[in-house]
Amino acid sequence: MTKKLSQYGGWDSKLEERAREVLTLRFSELSDSFEFAVKGRGKGKACGDSYISAAYECRLEAGERKKLIGELGVKGEMRKKIELLNDEQLSRVVEAKRKKGFSAEQGLAASRAIDTLAGTATGSRKIGGDNLQDPAAAAKMAEFYANGKDKTYKAPYDYPPEIVEFVVERMKSEGTWTDAYKKLSIKGSPEASVKKEAWGDQPSDARAKAVLKSLMDNDFKDVLGNELAWTSAMQLDHRLAGSMGGKDTPDNWIWISAPTNQVKGDIEKNIKTKKLVGEEAERFLKESLLVKLEKNASMSADEVAKIKQQGRAYATEKVQRREALRVNLPAMAPDQVLRRIEEYTKPGLEDMLQASVKTGGPAFLKKSVRGQGDYPTVPQARAMLKMRWGFDLSPSDLRSIGQAIASSVYDTRPKAEILQLIIDRFGPTTGLTPAQRNAILDAAG
């Protein structure tokens, strides 16, 4: 062949590279188009002995599948699991063995992690009744905490960090890592100071990779062995909360159901308000959590479903109410707006705050996800609304806005930066004078 080609201008490396591309041509039935496999560099996603664009589906011939399965050298139940994999999953497992020397079991875990992370939808917003769960599950969680298993629980696996790196590398090549990274980074929502203490001097993606390893070590299941959606139905919980001295490290993490985590988080906030510490705080947390879980366990499934349905209806009504305010507030006369600010109670002020936001997002941001749903007190809310709609601000109003900023305990940014964030997102309509800014920042501390 080389001799014949030399008659038409010769054979060189570029021509050879092109010939190899043609010889490794693959056909994608989904796209009804051709795709050249890229050999050698591991770009795109694995497909048998080659790599293809992430936009195409991997298709292997029966003989090639048989060869790859044989290469893994698996038998019995593991062989049955491998034979059930689709072509893309099988190719990943083989690549894990070839490139990293992983076992078939480890490669299978890596492939499963890639699919799970890439395929899970984003969690939904909280609604009324979200702190309730199936009564049987609540009873099991109550038993778990009553027996102190939250302190002694151990994950069933302990995968090496190299497996995690392989998963990340593959997801980057397949274009699915960025979204998964964002979700992994916020799991557990530790206070900024606690997170910084544990991860401050490490690479920016270190915590996300540690969360990924924890998910893999737990086989994407909670402490009761339930396989739940990791972005919404299952949450990373700290055995000992950061506010109670706990560290944001893997040995302090367990995976529990989202309703249990929500109840536990509410109790931890109460502990902080009561200024409980040490054994007193831990005892209060355990006793309060058991009371709530046992109450949930005593309910019928129909009762839980009814409360959740009522919560969804209330949430829908709240959205509609706020949207109506968003449309109507700019059209109201100033005295009408001011009357609402002065007369509304806390629920109405919360609606009015959210309806007054200029850009998307909560009316009053806190850096911790766990704190984002919190609103300022009634005096603080009234002062912020007066600022937003251009009314005169009294010294008391300026102090209230400063106190609202000071209450954002999860946010370690400079107070001036937080104030600017509020102004950019929320107001004011007429702007603040330098003297007003200084008064607010003095009150913020």
Does 189 lie in the same domain as 294? yes
Please tell me the distance from the alpha carbon of residue 232 to that of residue 255, in angstroms, as a whole number.
12
Does 387 lie in the same domain as 244? no
Please tell me the distance from the alpha carbon of residue 54 to that of residue 30, in angstroms, as a whole number.
13
Residue 439 lies in a domain: yes
Please tell me the distance from the alpha carbon of residue 236 to that of residue 208, in angstroms, as a whole number.
12
Does 294 lie in the same domain as 406? no
Please tell me the distance from the alpha carbon of residue 51 to that of residue 62, in angstroms, as a whole number.
18
Does 378 lie in the same domain as 292? no
Greater pLDDT, 361 or 31: 361
Residue 162 lies in a domain: yes
Query: DSSP assignment, residue 442?
Result: H
Q: Which residue has the tokens 């007369």?
A: 343
Mean pLDDT of the chain: 84
Q: Quick one: tokens of 115?
A: 């699919």
Please tell me the distance from the alpha carbon of residue 313 to that of residue 342, in angstroms, as a whole number.
28
Q: Which helix (H) or strand (E) holds 257?
A: strand 253-257
Please tell me the distance from the alpha carbon of residue 380 to that of residue 393, in angstroms, as a whole number.
12
Please tell me the distance from the alpha carbon of residue 404 to that of residue 402, in angstroms, as a whole number.
5
Whether the pLDDT of residue 344 is over 60: the answer is: yes
Q: Are 373 and 269 in contact (CB under 8 A)?
A: no
Count of structural domains within the chain = 3
Does 283 lie in the same domain as 154? yes
Beta bridge partners of 47: 50
Does 343 lie in the same domain as 279? no
Q: Convert the pLDDT of each residue in 182-238 to its tens digit.
A: 999 989 878 778 888 999 899 999 999 999 999 999 999 999 999 989 988 899 999
pTM: 0.73
Residue 377 lies in a domain: yes
Of 254, 276, 299, the residue at which a domain comes to its end is 299
Q: Which residue has the tokens 């850009």?
A: 359
Phi, psi (rounded to 5 degrees) for 244: -110, 15
Provide the CA 224 distance to its chain's centre, in angstroms: 21
Does 295 lie in the same domain as 339? no
Q: How confident is the model at residue 45 (pLDDT cuts 50, 70, 90)?
A: confident
Q: Quick one: tokens of 199?
A: 């991860």
pLDDT for the residue 15:
54
Please tell me the distance from the alpha carbon of residue 39 to that of residue 238, in angstroms, as a whole number.
45
pLDDT for the residue 336:
95
Residue 310 lies in a domain: no
Q: Which residue has the tokens 């002694």?
A: 152
Does 362 lie in the same domain as 413? yes
CA distances from 442 to 128, 382, 406, 415, 436 (A): 38, 19, 10, 10, 10
Residue 56 lies in a domain: yes
Please tell me the distance from the alpha carbon of residue 148 to that of residue 145, in angstroms, as a whole number.
5
Residue 32 lies in a domain: yes
Residue 147 lies in a domain: yes
Exposure letters 305-314 (e unless 16+ CB within 10 A, then b): eebbeebeee
Listed in order, strand segments (DSSP E) in 312-442 are: none
Provide the CA 26 distance to its chain's centre, in angstroms: 37
Does 235 lie in the same domain as 189? yes
Does 292 lie in the same domain as 340? no
pLDDT for the residue 19:
56
Domain interval for residue 399: 335-444
- Give the ranges where 33-86 is alpha helix by DSSP (H): 62-72, 76-83
Q: HSE (CB half, 13 Å, CA atoms) of 82? A: 25
Give the best-scoring range by mean pLDDT among 95-99, 192-196, 408-412.
Answer: 95-99
